[in-house]
């Protein structure tokens, strides 16, 4: 994995001398995404920048990569991984292409030369890339189907199209200044830590949406979608569905085990990570490789303080031990100290350039740093719940039928924290409702579907386009800040296409969520692991964390210069969260973010405003 950035300018004096320095500055902001190598390329129309984390063909896969055809240069910067490199390469060789390296970058560039703007439909993997097309004198940009790899862009005042893997790269371009308008504040206060697809939060900043591509030329830019989910009747029997799901999951994991550098899996002992670990461990054994390395995560003293709940019915460690015993993996338990968890809130914000999932982000950042000391690539079970319908809002009536985002259906916790005058002036609730209605209207419908299943399809659509995107954003920024590439097999588009049309009665056979995946794992996992109730990403139950973040918020409020004053209702905070213990009721986002996480979100909000000099 890597970081890309650059700018495109068809209007100014061609190839101005300062362009190389600007490109260098933009690349420096992405050093963490590519500590192994850097490269820059300039032409009369702009510059391309690349930071490399070498995974495939480390010696010869340098970027920007240039290939010539009929006297014209084609140059690519690419962040991602193709999982069908071998098949693409064989196809292209049959069409007369010759290759100098084993890298997927060269295959991707050749695929563009062969298929042009239809290249996205040929790709399987996670990617964001830009290609200079010397023949057409234009740039071509493309992003993977689910937005696993990021791509932000903005138009600068001087007319330049500026892009980067992260927001911070854009602001290294002269004249692009971070600013947040009313819509951006509504995103952060009412929708965050989620984010509307295509919206960069900062004024004037956009995101190339998943499954979209863009052409930037002298006449401007045009954008189009190259892939979409299609709703169609599911005609397979349940038995055939189970077999097909197993084939698709196994195939996705196996394809993503390709790497020239050390690889591991994240293992929580839950269904999703256990399936990935089991497939990977069996593949390693079949190929005669050393035992697969696995990692699980916990917090200091969590065994002492853990209390089961409806969201988290049991702890992970007994199930992790069961999997390690069954598959003989070389396992490491990583334990995050609570002071580190609180201290990393600021760095997690810097990694994302936005306030995020608070300690859920900070803990992942800590764990990724530890894993990256030994590994470059990890496989994670992220996104299975979004794809297979593993969350309670797929079946609890009050959540399923809420006329808003089911993972944050109650805005009361936010409303009680933020300044009511600001909340009303910005129109936060109207904005949230607008984004919800807009997104639901885009759901691919199935003609003749009954209202209950039609609603579940809407919720599934929201999950794929909102909740899953939030988790993928988090995974990318925290892992890449650490120099670690994390792959997500459950985001394989063929798997998602198939599962999208499996009816709920099959997904939740016998009334149990994700039963079709459990049945697909029969004979693959130990039976007790296969039937374990769902448990989410681990969170700390140690009261020390709450004490630390409460103290951080109190310290911020004691500083008259702190920008957070402009956002919050201080009287409500001092009378409520700053004195009360516990989780303050149900989560205000997802399943994990309750009272302590709201305090941590405020810490990140303040740090974000300071970092970018923001006012409201």
Question: Which residues are annotated as catalytic?
Answer: 2
Tell me if the bond preceding 554 is cis, omega within 30° of 0: no
Q: Half-sphere exposure (CA, 13 Å, Cβ side) for 225?
A: 9
Q: d(Cα 348, Cα 358) in Å, to the nearest integer?
A: 8
3-state secondary structure of 149: coil
Q: Which of 260, 270, 329, 255 has the alpha carbon at shortest distance from 82? A: 255
Strand partners, 162: 7, 154
Task: Count CB atoms within 10 A of the CB of residue 535.
Answer: 20
* Cβ-contact 163, 142 below 8 angstroms: no
Strand partners, 6: 48, 163
Angle at 572 between CA 568 and CA 578, to 5 degrees: 95
CB contact set of 274 (below 8 Å; sequence gap of 6+) = 267, 268, 319, 323, 381, 521, 525, 529, 530
Largest CA distance in the chain: 72
Buried b (16+ CB within 10 A) or exposed e, 433-442: bebbeebbee
Q: Quick one: three-class SS letters along 366-410?
A: HHHHHHHCCCCEEECCCCHHHHHCCCHHHCCHHHHCCCCCHHHCC
Q: d(Cα 188, Cα 415) in Å, to the nearest integer?
A: 13
> Which residue pairs from 573-581 have beta carbons closer than 8 angstroms and sit at least 24 positions apart in sequence?
573/417, 576/416, 577/417, 577/550, 577/553, 578/550, 578/553, 578/554, 581/543, 581/546
3-state secondary structure of 608: helix
Q: List, in sequence order, the alpha helices (H) in 116-189.
A: 167-170, 182-186
3-state secondary structure of 319: helix
Strand partners, 293: 264, 330
* Cβ-contact 492, 275 below 8 angstroms: no
Q: Quick one: three-class SS letters along 211-272?
A: CEEEEEECCEEEEEECCCCCCCCCCCCHHHHHHHHHHHHHHHHHHCCCCCCCEEEECCCCHH
Tell me if the bond preceding 64 is cis, omega within 30° of 0: yes
Q: d(Cα 574, Cα 420) in Å, to the nearest integer?
A: 15
DSSP single-letter state for residue 199: B
> Which residue pairs from 282-288 have beta carbons closer than 8 angstroms and sit at least 24 positions apart in sequence?
282/327, 283/253, 283/254, 283/257
């Amino acid at each position: 994995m890597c970081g890309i950035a650059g700018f495109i300018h068809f209007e100014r004096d061609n190839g101005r001398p300062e362009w190389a320095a600007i490109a260098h500055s933009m690349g420096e902001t992405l050093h963490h995404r590519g500590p192994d190598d850097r490269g820059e390329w300039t032409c009369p129309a702009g510059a391309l920048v690349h930071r490399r984390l070498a995974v495939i063909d480390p010696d010869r896969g340098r970027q920007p990569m240039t290939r010539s055809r009929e006297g014209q240069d084609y140059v690519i910067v690419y962040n991602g991984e193709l999982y069908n490199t071998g098949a693409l390469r064989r196809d292209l060789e049959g069409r007369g292409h010759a290759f100098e390296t084993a890298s997927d970058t060269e295959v991707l560039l050749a695929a563009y030369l062969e298929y042009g703007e239809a290249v996205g439909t040929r790709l399987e993997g996670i990617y964001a890339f830009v290609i200079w097309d010397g023949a057409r004198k234009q740039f071509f940009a493309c992003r993977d189907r689910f937005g696993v790899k990021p791509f932000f862009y903005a138009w600068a005042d001087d007319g330049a199209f500026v892009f980067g893997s992260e927001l911070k790269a854009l602001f290294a371009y002269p004249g692009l200044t971070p600013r947040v308008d009313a819509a951006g504040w509504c995103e952060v206060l009412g929708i965050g830590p989620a984010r509307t697809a295509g919206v960069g939060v900062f004024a004037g900043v956009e995101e190339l949406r998943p499954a979209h591509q863009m052409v930037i030329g002298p006449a401007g830019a045009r954008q189009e979608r190259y892939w979409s989910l299609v709703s169609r009747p599911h005609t397979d029997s349940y038995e055939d569905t189970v077999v097909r799901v197993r084939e698709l999951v196994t195939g996705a994991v196996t394809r993503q085990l390709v790497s020239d550098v050390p690889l591991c899996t994240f293992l929580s002992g839950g269904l999703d990570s256990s399936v990935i670990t089991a497939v990977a461990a069996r593949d390693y054994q079949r190929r005669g490789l050393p035992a697969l390395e696995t990692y699980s995560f916990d917090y200091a003293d969590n065994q002492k303080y853990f209390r089961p709940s409806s969201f988290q019915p049991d702890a992970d460690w007994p199930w992790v031990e069961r999997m390690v015993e069954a598959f003989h993996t070389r396992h490491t338990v990583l334990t995050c100290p609570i002071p580190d968890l609180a201290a990393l809130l600021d760095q997690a914000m810097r990694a994302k350039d936005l306030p995020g999932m608070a300690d859920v982000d900070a803990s992942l950042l800590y764990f990724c740093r530890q894993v990256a000391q030994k590994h470059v690539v990890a496989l994670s079970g992220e996104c299975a719940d979004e794809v297979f319908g593993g969350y309670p809002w797929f079946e609890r009536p009050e959540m399923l039928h809420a006329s808003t985002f089911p993972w944050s259906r109650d805005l009361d916790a936010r409303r009680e924290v933020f300044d009511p005058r600001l909340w009303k002036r910005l129109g936060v609730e109207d904005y949230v409702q607008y984004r919800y209605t807009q997104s639901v209207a885009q759901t691919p419908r199935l003609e003749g579907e009954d209202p209950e299943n039609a609603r579940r399809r809407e919720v599934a659509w929201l999950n794929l386009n909102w909740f899953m995107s939030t988790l993928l954003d988090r995974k990318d920024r925290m892992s890449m800040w650490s120099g670690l590439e994390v792959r997500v097999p459950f985001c394989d588009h063929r798997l998602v296409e198939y599962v999208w049309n499996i009816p709920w009665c099959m997904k939740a056979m016998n009334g149990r969520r994700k039963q079709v995946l459990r049945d697909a794992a029969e004979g693959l996992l130990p039976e007790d692991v296969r039937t374990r109730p769902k448990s989410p990403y681990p969170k700390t139950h140690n009261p020390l964390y709450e004490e630390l973040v409460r103290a951080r918020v109190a310290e911020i409020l004691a500083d008259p210069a702190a920008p957070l004053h402009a956002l919050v209702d201080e009287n409500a905070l001092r009378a409520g969260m700053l004195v009360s213990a516990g989780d303050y009721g149900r989560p205000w986002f997802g399943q994990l973010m309750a009272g302590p996480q709201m305090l941590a979100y405020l810490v990140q909000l303040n740090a974000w405003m300071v970092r970018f000099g923001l006012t409201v």
